Structure 1
């Protein structure tokens, strides 16, 4: 099974991977507890990327490192489950790619404190993707590459309809209705109408958080219900494209003219450019209300070090070399095999492919308006919220009562996980 980096943001902006559970920890771990010519031997795990050339690239990076013998392992199947099981044994990886770490892995002492690796570069890492990898002031993984979602709009279609690019949620609702014709829908938010991909992004655009700094549900506010009600309006007015041949992560509906606007990922930009030239623009999710601001969901895999590694210092040194110091490799990893943003802000700003046009705007949006799911946003809270969002959008359920139930569930979850702290 091949997994693309776009799957990072596949469900509500979260960092979810799917697939059948593979054998968690076989004998082929890539770890050798001995030394090679006096150098430590460390194993490094990656999930199986979909972009051609990525595996060869990371092995080339490892071969270039001269202070340890790095054995790269490409792990197909249910990578998250494999890694979680491996961290409980002595035969797991030294360095591993992670879409967390999770709170349980951090508090269970399964990962190593990496704060010192960013002693000089912390302010140059996109804070939105660093935040979920930080717990109680300690950094547990170094972000590798940033993925983001954004709104694509067809310039010619908007111009012909006399519609300005929407910069508020109200304007988006109005624009989608005006752009809908017999053959074209105004907006595509995924084949389910939006709940699967949008997640907490509309709440962020209304100036709210999923979890506050005080560790409570951040959407216990009438503003939240009002905002989600507008998503229902899009659905009820039949302004949304539903049942497209491919879902939101693929720009085919947009490039084929089935919709005037589509929510998708930055990875789609080269394909859209090839199909439409300069007849498109990009926007963040539009703000809603007086206290709102544009919102951009972002996510990042990170490099972490196992607490069971027998070569922790060597593993940390390698992570620092590859994901902090070797900026040419970071740019190559982000932009040669797919289209993504380096985690270092300075590198993202100067990378040639990201300096101009829609790509340059996307980098600015990710830096200025980026939101990642909080570390304390548990799977149980996320599931309760997305189920409620689906009922609100598709069935017209009352937003106030639906959100009250989610707030209760979320606060109970937050009390549970924080009690263990």
Structure 2
């Protein structure tokens, strides 16, 4: 899998343009001048590129050129939207608030008339601004806690359903060459992000656009994450990072935080000797939590064929449910963005896969649209100091709250 797909849940958009790309063409007829350029980030899953070419070729109202973009895709699209040489239709981890407020992308609300409630609300929400939809979700990716059933049973442990139980289980499962938990080679700061805050019953940004973690519960929860370090129960320095299940499969760790995409490989190698869980709840107001993310299709405001581009997006990501199922499950392992499609997908109807769909539906959260890269950086740096260095959660969070509050004031004034 391409690194961009794996890092979707924690990615932020940037600026600048990296030139050089591969291009492939799907031809579908259409009248004179009916020509669209469509961009995707470079997937590493075999067959995906050929699939999107096939979809494009089936659209008969325009000639659609599909471009496969290696490199920092978010930076490429951010820069291309400012020029007349960019795509008409493009895959996007967003759009960002700046792109929406700057009028760089078209309003696509009318494309989901009648089916809006069928899209997973956790991933449609961040593509919605003031009630208007600016991106159509394609698939849902989520992260999960994988655990070895046999190792927990041998230790006399139940799958942890609270953060305290997870800390205790990680300590009990650590011994010899096996660590209790793997959260990534940085100790978890990069991949966990806001997940522990949501598990504490908080959020990054409230519905009113205010800081959602200016609460003593935030410090209590984040402070517990340092206990993994003091207990020496975290695997660090693994041959591959959290997105790859190798450490889990090689028996280096009894539990690992990774992505849904790893599930088929884990199942092939471990059979039934594994289960999956959401990040466990913490505190009386806490709740189980999983982060979700979704690339979506957007239309550039600079397109010379705006209406045809919108029609193509509706045709592909709203009307053609067969293509949507194919894209989600035939070349990788992802959840269709439409709830009705996820519910009837055969590969998602039993075992850990069914659990993952349920977690994403019942406990999923996505980074809110108002959570900007500046806010992300301030929070993530503080989280790293708390987890790895034992920095005071209260002091670190006070500083983050000030920075995020100022950033939210800035973006709200721009709207």
TM-score (structure 1 length as normaliser):
0.94
Residue 235 of structure 2 is aligned to residue 238 of structure 1:
no
Matches within 5 A, 1:401-416: 401-416=395-410
Residue aligning to 1:342: 336
Instruction: State the SS of the aligned residue for 1:304.
Output: strand
Residue aligning to 1:63: 57
Q: Distance in 2 between matches of 1:192 and 1:186?
A: 16
Structure 2: stretches of 5+ with no match in the other structure: none
Deviations 1:81-134 (A, max 9, x none): 221222112221111111111111101111100001111111111111111101
Residue aligning to 1:83: 77
Q: Is contact 1:189-1:248 (8 Å) kept?
A: yes
Residue aligning to 1:5: 5
Residue aligning to 2:282: 288
Cα drift, residue 38 of structure 1: 4.1
Q: Is contact 2:15-2:79 (8 Å) kept?
A: no
Q: Distance in 2 between matches of 1:370 and 1:225?
A: 22
Residue aligning to 2:249: 255
Matches within 5 A, 1:371-382: 371-382=365-376
Instruction: State the SS of the aligned residue for 2:34.
Output: strand
Matches within 5 A, 1:242-391: 242-391=236-385
Cα drift, residue 415 of structure 1: 0.5
Give the alignment partner of residue 192 of structure 1, picking from 186, 206, 210: 186
Instruction: State the SS of the aligned residue for 2:7.
Output: helix
Deviations 1:314-367 (A, max 9, x none): 111110111011111111111111111110011011111111100011000001
Residue aligning to 1:151: 145
Q: Is contact 2:23-2:65 (8 Å) kept?
A: no
Instruction: State the SS of the aligned residue for 2:139.
Output: strand
Residue aligning to 1:22: 18
Give the alignment partner of residue 132 of structure 1, picking from 122, 126, 151: 126
Q: Distance in 2 between matches of 1:151 and 1:3?
A: 20
Q: Is contact 1:132-1:372 (8 Å) kept?
A: yes
Instruction: State the SS of the aligned residue for 2:291.
Output: strand
Residue aligning to 1:180: 174
Instruction: State the SS of the aligned residue for 1:80.
Output: helix
Q: Distance in 2 between matches of 1:19 and 1:244?
A: 32
Cα drift, residue 16 of structure 1: 4.2
Instruction: State the SS of the aligned residue for 1:227.
Output: helix
Structure 1: stretches of 5+ with no match in the other structure: none
Residue aligning to 2:223: 229
Residue aligning to 1:419: 413
Deviations 1:227-273 (A, max 9, x none): 00110111111111111111100101111111110000000001100
Q: 1:31 to 1:95 in 2, by over 3 A?
A: farther
How many residues get paired? 414
Q: Distance in 2 between matches of 1:183 and 1:20?
A: 44
Instruction: State the SS of the aligned residue for 1:245.
Output: coil
Give the alignment partner of residue 98 of structure 1, picking from 92, 101, 120: 92
Q: CA RMSD in A?
A: 2.2
Cα drift, residue 3 of structure 1: 4.1
Cα drift, residue 28 of structure 1: 8.0
Instruction: State the SS of the aligned residue for 2:138.
Output: strand
Residue aligning to 2:387: 393
Q: Distance in 2 between matches of 1:246 and 1:268?
A: 13
Instruction: State the SS of the aligned residue for 1:303.
Output: strand
330-339 vs 160-169, greater mean Cα deviation: 330-339
Q: Is contact 1:19-1:77 (8 Å) kept?
A: no
Cα drift, residue 42 of structure 1: 1.2
Q: Is contact 1:98-1:301 (8 Å) kept?
A: yes
Q: Is contact 1:29-1:91 (8 Å) kept?
A: no
